[in-house]
Amino acid sequence: MTQGIQTLRRGDLVEVLSAEEIAATLDADGTVDQLPFMPEMVDYCGKQFRVAQKVVIICSSGTKTGSTLRSFRKNDVVVLEGLRCSAESHDGCQKACTLLWREAWLRKADSSRKAQSTSDRQVLLSRLKTKASPTIYFCQASELLRATKSLGKFERYSKVFSELQVGNCGPIEMIRRVGIFMFWKIRRSIVGPYAKGNRSATPAETIGLQSGELVRVKPMSAIGETLDGTASNRGLWFSPNMRLLCGQQQRVEKRIEKLIVDGTGEMRKLKNTVFLEGSHCSCPHIALGGCERQEYVYWREIWLERKA
């Protein structure tokens, strides 16, 4: 049985329920309203965290229709500061998704926290599945489409007011986000995708970047030569916000070689791709008001060069 919606807000100090309490909220698949509580989340039971954002709009990528804007059917999902999926129970997926938390799994923090029982944790872990079949994984990313609904045009616009109501940002910040969205929407309608190239087959380059290395993001002119008419390199989109790092020095966080695809649960292989420290997408250029998922931006090695 789940708790009622608590209307948590950004900055609230919350406590993750005990393993026993979490288990009582879950259905036979280990989910609440089709959003899984994953084994990687069990270690956080009984611990306290700040609410980073209420999830108003969320992007789902990797589907046949590309990136889509969606929302949870109930206003009951938040993200907590600094918590991403380690994928320890999902064969080392490197996507590092922001963990999504139903309010049914949280409570306002107080001083009456009790120690967690090891046996309760094992019981909870036994309730959580990691695969839907031998080749299909089961996690928050795989179930994202089932746990959310698509948004019509009017709903997307109304979410701007929802972002303000739940305290995700203030009016000035929202005006800035709306301005960014409108600029890129108008630009796309006039000249097409930003940074689109003229390649029919896009090139690859392997330079073997490793965690901790310093790189320089190539200028936009050089990156444009690696892109096709959809501004993509071998299916990976160069998004408008990525241009802000062109010419700048960055540090490689890690190589990305495999990830679980949103909505399908397929483990997909990648080549010549890295994450850069602090390079996250809030989607203001495609999502009116932005997206709370804060996924890593994917960088092809051909867009980077080692710092001399």
pLDDT digits (tens, 9 = 90+) for 44-77: 999 999 999 999 989 887 554 455 788 999 989 9
CA proximity to 79, closest of 2, 9, 171: 9
Q: What is the pLDDT of residues 201-213, one digit of tens each?
A: 999 999 999 999 9
* Mean pLDDT, all residues of the chain: 90
Q: Which residue has the higher pLDDT, 37 or 114?
A: 37
User: With bands split at pLDDT 50, 70 and 90, how would you rate the model's confidence at 281?
Assistant: confident
User: With bands split at pLDDT 50, 70 and 90, how would you rate the model's confidence at 286?
Assistant: confident
Q: Is it the case that residue 1 has pLDDT exceeding 50? A: no
pLDDT value for 62: 58
pLDDT value for 6: 63
Q: What is the pLDDT of residues 149-184, one digit of tens each?
A: 988 888 888 888 889 988 898 999 999 989 999 999
User: With bands split at pLDDT 50, 70 and 90, how would you rate the model's confidence at 19?
Assistant: very high
pLDDT value for 238: 95
Q: What is the pLDDT of residues 72-95, one digit of tens each?
A: 999 899 999 999 999 999 999 999
pLDDT value for 258: 96
**For a pLDDT cut of 90, what percent of the chain falls above it?**
72
Q: Which residue has the higher pLDDT, 282 or 301?
A: 301
Q: Is it the case that residue 5 has pLDDT exceeding 60? A: no
User: With bands split at pLDDT 50, 70 and 90, how would you rate the model's confidence at 218?
Assistant: very high
User: With bands split at pLDDT 50, 70 and 90, how would you rate the model's confidence at 2?
Assistant: very low
Q: Are 42 and 19 in contact (CB under 8 A)?
A: yes
- Give the lowest-confidence range in 62-66, 134-138, 160-164, 247-251: 62-66
User: With bands split at pLDDT 50, 70 and 90, how would you rate the model's confidence at 111?
Assistant: low
Q: Is it the case that residue 112 has pLDDT exceeding 80? A: no
pLDDT value for 64: 46
pLDDT value for 292: 85
